[in-house]
Amino acid sequence: MPGRLFLQSLGPVRMFAPGGEPLSFKTRKSLALIGFLLRRPGLSATRSEIAALLWSEGDRNRATVSLRQAVSHVRQAEAACGIPLIEATPTGISLLGDSLTTDLDLLQQLLAGQVPFDGDRLARLWGGDFLSGFDVIDPAFAEWLGLEQERVRSSVIEKAVSALEGLRRLTDTGAATQREVIAGFLLGLDPANEFAHQTLIRHFLDQGRRERAMQQLRDCTRELRNLLDEEPDPATLQLLEQSTGEGKVVADPGRLPPPVDLPADAASLTASAATITSGQSMADSMVDFPALRRDITLPVLSIASLSFEREADHVALSLRDDIVAGLSAYRCFELFEAAYWMGEDGTAPMRVDGGELGSFLLRFRRDRMLNRIYVQLENRSSGQIAFNEVLDLTLTQSRSERIEAVYRTVSRVYGHIIGRLRQRPGRSAFSRWCQAEALIWEFNLASDRKALQILSELEQSHGNFSLIYAGRCSILMKQALCYPYPGIGSLDQEAVLTLAEKAVALDPWQVVNHRMNGWTLIQSGRADDAARAFKQALALNPLDPMNTISAAEALAHIGDIGKATDLAMRAFEGLTTTPRIVYGYLANIFFASGDFDQAAEYSRRGPIDNIHVLATRLAAQHGAGLTEEAAATRAMLIQRIGTQFGRLDPSAHSAELTAWLEQVNMFQAPANRATFNAALDTLRETLGLRRM
């Protein structure tokens, strides 16, 4: 056999040839056929079973024809890689398992100790639920897939628990590292898994990290309450009791700190956190996974491939699939296949009333003479062509060129459809969210207040819409860092972390939820957990430049400088318009890299009413030795703070100012943190304040 194919079945589903090149399948159902057979006893099924599952809504004869076409598409993939995948008979189809390696197989082998342990590889292999996103191809398949995803997840959880059990009594350093990594992996799959929490509590106590063990117990308490409406087992509490040697816990880990005293227009920010900690079960109100919500209507985007079906066209189809995958990662559209082609048997597209959200058609047409793909977005309500994109296949041969082409097209489609919703008032829940999101990105106090009002109204009618809580989390953190109110005090880290975790629990496929969870973890001093959250956000949507640049700034704060800089520059090049706050992100990234001159220049172009950006400018100028410029920035920063407080009186507002000076420095690397603090010390000296 010339080699084995690799099937990425966890998360976004792809198949790769032995050399690493992605294989193209003309339809998603042909790839779903492979995934279905992979989970069948004996790797085989009858043709009637497959047809009933993948084409349940058509008549029997048409389903049979469609299955033959799917088999033909698999044969074309086989021809492209030279490796057989299936064996077809008149009555059944079997998968040739010896031809395949899957991420699920590798993951289970890793957990079972059948291959050398690699923590980074373990994290990479789990990309999400089995055949994620394939539930939309047919109702019957969606029903089967929902059960199969649960079986796969349960199997992986069981193997992770078994791995931890096997490592429990081993005391060497390697075993301790494996325990920590596998327990963290297990909590990523099941945040309320008490055994994993117990493992980490023991691990941190063995290392003498009692405060970290206490934090893990608080995390355990919160997750059990949120997801199961339960309290920790007494055995979990006893782990810390035993470590004190006095038969009691030093502090009550289950009691979350009270919310901060916010002004009237911001007090509702912590309302959802209070709801969670009051004992209400989130399990009773979870959304159908992985759907956003049944009552959240999204803009409709239909995908039409004109003239692609005439002959094998793997390059064009692969590019088209990358664009569709990029759009699906935003989770802002109802995506459909518009199954019609040009020619005698083709049917004309119908005009539809898309309402305020809109209905759109994205056409792909291949011109073989010029070797181009034409991508056209049409508003199906009006028939208006929003734009035409021309992708020259001769210029997309390299991986970087291909990514750039996909990046540009996805951004244009997303920007047109969502941009129009951000700019005009609407009544639907998703339209209202788009307006709130646009206000949040403006980074000023007035916009945050408007956004907060929209989110509060949405919670009344759509309380399980996860983005409500991610948005609130964003506003709460911004107001503490960029627009602190008099009397607000320190940021309530438990409150914002609870909001972020609720958002992730309600919809773990939304990148915004993972980003906000990551930022709250940075504020809580949990850099490793934060890094995992941002890597998850990048994996879920690598084509959103704002997602990428926000994650890059976070990685710079954590200390992963090289990756942060590379990501930021790539994302910056992909922006069609550049909000001023992006320059603030870049300032922090270059400050972390030690390029203080560049950091000072970027912060100068950031929003001048944002005291967080001004603090970075002060730190960059101080680090670059620009004494006069730093003095001018310090004076401007004091003036801006005074504007927010009405009248700056250091003696009257010393608590708020001291708290802000501590939390505005989010750099985790000791050298970066010390350099930033050295500049803030000059501000403390001017204001007559001391460090906490």
Over 161-210, what HEC string results? HHHHHHHCCCCCHHHHHHHHHHHHHHHHHCCCCHHHHHHHHHHHHHCCCH
* 249 — pLDDT class (breaks 50, 70, 90): very low
Using DSSP's 3-state secondary structure scheme, residue 601 falls into helix
Stretch 393-411: mean pLDDT = 80
Over 302-320, what HEC string results? EEEEECHHHCCCHHHHHHH
Residue type at 492 in one-letter notation:
D
Q: Pick the range with the lowest mean pLDDT from 168-182, 184-198, 311-325, 611-625.
A: 311-325
Integer angstrom CA distances of residue 413 from 340, 363, 399, 672: 21, 12, 21, 39
Q: Cβ distance 91 to 76 under 8 Å? A: no
| pLDDT score for 265 | 39
Between CA 356 and CA 342 the distance in angstroms is 30
Q: Is the dihedral of CA 672, 677, 678, 683 positive or negative?
A: positive
Report whether pLDDT(337) > 80: no
Residue type at 418 in one-letter notation:
I
Q: What is the pLDDT of residues 69-98, one digit of tens each?
A: 999 999 999 998 999 999 999 999 999 999
Q: Which of these, 517, 524, 466, lies nearest to 491 by C-alpha position?
A: 524
Residue type at 225 in one-letter notation:
R
Q: Cβ distance 183 to 200 under 8 Å? A: yes
Q: Which residue has the tokens 């019957």?
A: 140
Q: Cβ distance 358 to 299 under 8 Å? A: yes
* 47 — pLDDT class (breaks 50, 70, 90): very high
Between CA 507 and CA 454 the distance in angstroms is 20
Q: Cβ distance 416 to 387 under 8 Å? A: yes
Taken as a whole, the chain contains a residue count of 692
| pLDDT score for 306 | 66
Which tokens go with 51? 């047809």
Residue 403 CA to chain centroid, in angstroms? 19
| pLDDT score for 102 | 94
Report whether pLDDT(571) > 60: yes
| pLDDT score for 87 | 95
| pLDDT score for 255 | 37
CA 626-611-443 angle, 5° bins: 130
Residue type at 424 in one-letter notation:
R
Report whether pLDDT(13) > 60: yes
- How is 581-600 classified by DSSP, letter by letter? HHHHHHHHHHHHHT-HHHHH
The region that residue 331 occupies, defined by phi over 0 for left and psi between -120 and 50 for alpha, beta otherwise, is left
Stretch 545-565: mean pLDDT = 91
Using DSSP's 3-state secondary structure scheme, residue 359 falls into strand
Residue 446 CA to chain centroid, in angstroms? 28
- Mean pLDDT, the chain, rounded, equals 82
Going through 348-492 in order, the beta strands assigned E by DSSP cover: 359-367, 372-379, 385-392
Q: Is the dihedral of CA 170, 175, 178, 179 positive or negative?
A: positive
Q: What is the pLDDT of residues 173-212, one digit of tens each?
A: 888 999 999 999 999 888 889 999 999 999 999 888 888 8
Report whether pLDDT(518) > 90: yes
Q: Which residue has the tokens 């793997």?
A: 314
> Residues with Cβ < 8 Å from 653, sequence gap 6 or more?
486, 645
Using DSSP's 3-state secondary structure scheme, residue 335 falls into strand
Residue type at 474 in one-letter notation:
S
β-bridge partners, 301: 335, 360
Q: Cβ distance 496 to 476 under 8 Å? A: yes
Between CA 378 and CA 338 the distance in angstroms is 13
Strands 5-8 and 100-102, by their bridges, are parallel
Quote the pTM value. Answer: 0.60
β-bridge partners, 365: 306, 374
Q: What is the pLDDT of residues 209-222, one digit of tens each?
A: 888 898 899 889 88
Q: Which residue has the tokens 């520059």?
A: 569
| pLDDT score for 269 | 34
Going through 370-442 in order, the beta strands assigned E by DSSP cover: 372-379, 385-392
Stretch 354-375: mean pLDDT = 85
Using DSSP's 3-state secondary structure scheme, residue 458 falls into helix
Q: What is the pLDDT of residues 106-129, one digit of tens each?
A: 999 999 999 899 888 998 898 888
- How is 5-54 classified by DSSP, letter by letter? EEEE-BSS-EEE-TTSPEEP-SSHHHHHHHHHHHTSGGGEEEHHHHHHHH
Report whether pLDDT(499) > 50: yes
| pLDDT score for 184 | 92
Using DSSP's 3-state secondary structure scheme, residue 381 falls into coil
| pLDDT score for 286 | 30
Q: Cβ distance 430 to 454 under 8 Å? A: no
Each residue of 647-679: b (16+ CB within 10 Å) or e?
ebeeeebeebbbbbbebbbbbbbeebeebbbeb
Between CA 556 and CA 577 the distance in angstroms is 23
Between CA 580 and CA 527 the distance in angstroms is 27
Q: Which of these, 325, 303, 291, 324, lies nearest to 540 by C-alpha position?
A: 325
Report whether pLDDT(551) > 80: yes
Q: Cβ distance 605 to 583 under 8 Å? A: yes
Q: What is the pLDDT of residues 504-515, one digit of tens each?
A: 988 888 999 999
| pLDDT score for 281 | 30
Q: Cβ distance 292 to 298 under 8 Å? A: yes
Between CA 185 and CA 160 the distance in angstroms is 8
Between CA 226 and CA 648 the distance in angstroms is 41
DSSP 8-state code for residue 136: G
Stretch 370-384: mean pLDDT = 84
Q: Which residue has the tokens 């995908």?
A: 303
